[in-house]
Protein backbone atom coordinates (compact mmCIF):
# COMPACT_ATOMS: atom_id res chain seq x y z
CA UNK A 1 0.00 0.00 0.00
CA UNK A 2 2.80 2.46 0.83
CA UNK A 3 4.41 1.84 -2.52
CA UNK A 4 1.23 2.71 -4.37
CA UNK A 5 0.52 5.77 -2.24
CA UNK A 6 3.22 8.12 -3.50
CA UNK A 7 3.03 7.92 -7.27
CA UNK A 8 0.26 5.43 -7.88
CA UNK A 9 -2.64 7.59 -6.71
CA UNK A 10 -1.36 10.49 -8.76
CA UNK A 11 -1.06 8.27 -11.82
CA UNK A 12 -4.68 7.16 -11.50
CA UNK A 13 -6.00 10.68 -10.92
CA UNK A 14 -3.73 12.34 -13.49
CA UNK A 15 -1.77 15.62 -13.47
CA UNK A 16 -2.93 18.64 -11.51
CA UNK A 17 -6.12 16.88 -10.45
CA UNK A 18 -3.93 14.38 -8.61
CA UNK A 19 -2.27 17.13 -6.63
CA UNK A 20 -5.59 18.76 -5.80
CA UNK A 21 -7.27 15.50 -4.75
CA UNK A 22 -4.41 13.75 -3.02
CA UNK A 23 -2.38 16.59 -1.50
CA UNK A 24 0.13 19.14 -2.70
CA UNK A 25 2.87 17.37 -0.78
CA UNK A 26 2.84 14.26 -3.03
CA UNK A 27 4.92 15.92 -5.72
CA UNK A 28 7.60 16.71 -3.14
CA UNK A 29 7.35 13.47 -1.17
CA UNK A 30 7.86 11.44 -4.34
CA UNK A 31 11.39 12.82 -4.58
CA UNK A 32 12.32 11.05 -1.36
CA UNK A 33 9.99 8.03 -1.27
CA UNK A 34 9.55 5.78 -4.28
CA UNK A 35 8.37 2.35 -5.20
CA UNK A 36 11.80 1.03 -6.18
CA UNK A 37 12.51 -0.57 -2.82
CA UNK A 38 15.23 0.44 -0.42
CA UNK A 39 18.12 -0.08 -2.88
CA UNK A 40 16.30 1.84 -5.63
CA UNK A 41 15.54 4.70 -3.25
CA UNK A 42 19.12 4.88 -2.03
CA UNK A 43 20.57 4.73 -5.54
CA UNK A 44 18.28 7.50 -6.78
CA UNK A 45 18.94 9.71 -3.78
CA UNK A 46 22.72 9.26 -3.97
CA UNK A 47 22.62 10.08 -7.69
CA UNK A 48 20.46 13.13 -7.02
CA UNK A 49 22.85 14.25 -4.26
CA UNK A 50 25.83 14.01 -6.63
CA UNK A 51 24.07 16.00 -9.36
CA UNK A 52 22.79 18.53 -6.81
CA UNK A 53 26.34 19.00 -5.49
CA UNK A 54 27.57 19.79 -9.00
CA UNK A 55 24.62 22.13 -9.54
CA UNK A 56 25.36 23.88 -6.24
CA UNK A 57 28.98 24.30 -7.29
CA UNK A 58 27.99 25.88 -10.61
CA UNK A 59 24.72 27.72 -9.88
CA UNK A 60 25.21 28.48 -6.18
CA UNK A 61 23.09 27.27 -3.27
CA UNK A 62 20.01 29.48 -3.60
CA UNK A 63 19.64 29.08 -7.35
CA UNK A 64 20.19 25.32 -7.12
CA UNK A 65 17.40 25.08 -4.56
CA UNK A 66 15.10 27.09 -6.84
CA UNK A 67 15.99 24.91 -9.85
CA UNK A 68 15.47 21.76 -7.77
CA UNK A 69 12.00 22.90 -6.67
CA UNK A 70 11.09 23.99 -10.18
CA UNK A 71 12.23 20.59 -11.45
CA UNK A 72 9.63 19.03 -9.19
CA UNK A 73 6.65 21.26 -9.99
CA UNK A 74 7.21 22.68 -13.49
CA UNK A 75 7.15 19.62 -15.76
CA UNK A 76 3.54 18.71 -14.97
CA UNK A 77 2.47 22.34 -15.32
CA UNK A 78 4.28 22.78 -18.64
CA UNK A 79 2.73 19.55 -19.89
CA UNK A 80 -0.71 20.89 -19.04
CA UNK A 81 0.00 24.14 -20.90
CA UNK A 82 1.20 22.22 -23.96
CA UNK A 83 -1.81 19.93 -23.89
CA UNK A 84 0.25 16.84 -23.21
CA UNK A 85 -1.69 15.94 -20.08
CA UNK A 86 -3.67 13.12 -21.68
CA UNK A 87 -0.76 11.19 -23.16
CA UNK A 88 1.14 8.30 -21.61
CA UNK A 89 4.29 10.37 -21.18
CA UNK A 90 2.63 12.57 -18.60
CA UNK A 91 2.29 9.85 -16.00
CA UNK A 92 3.33 11.77 -12.88
CA UNK A 93 5.75 8.98 -11.96
CA UNK A 94 7.80 9.99 -15.01
CA UNK A 95 8.16 13.53 -13.74
CA UNK A 96 8.10 13.20 -9.98
CA UNK A 97 10.68 11.51 -7.90
CA UNK A 98 14.38 11.82 -7.56
CA UNK A 99 14.98 10.63 -11.12
CA UNK A 100 12.88 13.50 -12.51
CA UNK A 101 14.70 15.99 -10.30
CA UNK A 102 18.04 14.45 -11.30
CA UNK A 103 17.28 14.65 -15.03
CA UNK A 104 16.09 18.26 -14.64
CA UNK A 105 19.12 19.42 -12.62
CA UNK A 106 21.49 17.44 -14.85
CA UNK A 107 20.05 19.14 -17.92
CA UNK A 108 20.71 22.56 -16.37
CA UNK A 109 24.34 21.51 -16.00
CA UNK A 110 24.44 20.36 -19.63
CA UNK A 111 23.51 23.90 -20.69
CA UNK A 112 26.19 25.29 -18.38
CA UNK A 113 28.72 22.90 -19.93
CA UNK A 114 27.64 23.86 -23.44
CA UNK A 115 28.30 27.53 -22.72
CA UNK A 116 31.73 26.86 -21.19
CA UNK A 117 33.42 24.66 -23.78
CA UNK A 118 34.78 24.99 -27.28
CA UNK A 119 35.73 21.32 -27.75
CA UNK A 120 33.49 19.79 -30.46
CA UNK A 121 32.99 16.48 -28.62
CA UNK A 122 31.99 18.30 -25.44
CA UNK A 123 29.62 20.58 -27.37
CA UNK A 124 27.99 17.53 -28.96
CA UNK A 125 27.69 15.84 -25.56
CA UNK A 126 26.05 18.87 -23.93
CA UNK A 127 23.76 19.64 -26.88
CA UNK A 128 22.83 15.98 -27.00
CA UNK A 129 21.02 16.16 -23.66
CA UNK A 130 17.90 17.98 -24.92
CA UNK A 131 18.11 16.35 -28.35
CA UNK A 132 18.31 12.82 -26.96
CA UNK A 133 15.76 13.69 -24.28
CA UNK A 134 13.28 14.73 -26.94
CA UNK A 135 14.10 11.61 -28.97
CA UNK A 136 13.51 9.44 -25.89
CA UNK A 137 10.17 11.10 -25.30
CA UNK A 138 9.09 10.74 -28.94
CA UNK A 139 10.29 7.15 -29.31
CA UNK A 140 9.23 5.76 -25.93
CA UNK A 141 6.71 8.25 -24.51
CA UNK A 142 9.12 8.48 -21.59
CA UNK A 143 8.62 11.69 -19.63
CA UNK A 144 12.19 11.65 -18.33
CA UNK A 145 13.33 12.81 -21.76
CA UNK A 146 10.92 15.72 -21.74
CA UNK A 147 12.08 16.70 -18.24
CA UNK A 148 15.61 16.96 -19.66
CA UNK A 149 14.39 19.34 -22.35
CA UNK A 150 12.56 21.45 -19.77
CA UNK A 151 15.62 21.65 -17.51
CA UNK A 152 17.88 22.62 -20.40
CA UNK A 153 15.44 25.31 -21.57
CA UNK A 154 15.00 26.75 -18.07
CA UNK A 155 18.78 26.88 -17.62
CA UNK A 156 19.02 28.86 -20.87
CA UNK A 157 16.48 31.37 -19.54
CA UNK A 158 18.30 31.58 -16.20
CA UNK A 159 21.61 32.14 -17.95
CA UNK A 160 20.21 34.98 -20.09
CA UNK A 161 18.56 36.66 -17.10
CA UNK A 162 21.67 36.22 -15.00
CA UNK A 163 23.96 37.69 -17.66
CA UNK A 164 21.66 40.71 -18.10
CA UNK A 165 21.56 41.29 -14.36
CA UNK A 166 25.32 41.06 -14.15
CA UNK A 167 25.69 43.44 -17.08
CA UNK A 168 23.30 45.98 -15.58
CA UNK A 169 25.01 45.95 -12.17
CA UNK A 170 28.55 45.73 -13.51
CA UNK A 171 29.39 42.65 -11.42
CA UNK A 172 31.09 39.47 -12.55
CA UNK A 173 29.16 36.20 -12.80
> Tens-of-pLDDT digits for all 173 residues of the chain?
333 434 444 443 445 555 455 666 777 877 887 777 888 888 989 999 999 999 999 999 999 999 999 998 888 788 778 877 654 444 544 445 788 889 999 999 999 999 999 999 999 999 999 999 999 989 988 888 889 999 999 999 999 999 999 888 877 65
Q: 30, 36 in Cβ contact below 8 A? A: no
Tell me the Cα Rg of the chain: 17
Q: What angle do CA 16, 161, 98 make, to 5 degrees?
A: 40
pLDDT at 151: 95
Asked if 107 contacts 131 with a C-beta cutoff of 8 angstroms, the reply is no
Predicted local distance difference test score (pLDDT) of residue 107 = 96
pLDDT for the residue numbered 139: 93
Q: Rounded to two decimals, what is the model's pTM?
A: 0.77
Asked if 104 contacts 96 with a C-beta cutoff of 8 angstroms, the reply is no
Alpha-carbon separation of residue 25 from 51, 60, 103, 159 (angstroms): 23, 26, 20, 29
Spatial contact of 152 and 109, defined as CB atoms under 8 Å apart:
no
- CA distances from residue 106 to 19, 22, 29, 56, 165 in whole angstroms, order as listed: 25, 29, 20, 11, 24
| Of the candidates 56, 44, 62, the residue with the CA atom closest to the CA atom of residue 112 | 56
Q: Within its chain, how far is the Cα of 129 from the centroid?
A: 12
Amino acid sequence: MAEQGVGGDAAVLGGQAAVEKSGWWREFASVFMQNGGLFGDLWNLVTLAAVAALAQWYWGGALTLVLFLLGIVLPGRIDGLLGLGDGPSTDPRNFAGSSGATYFLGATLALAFLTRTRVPKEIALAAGVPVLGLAMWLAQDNGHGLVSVYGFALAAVVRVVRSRLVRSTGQTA
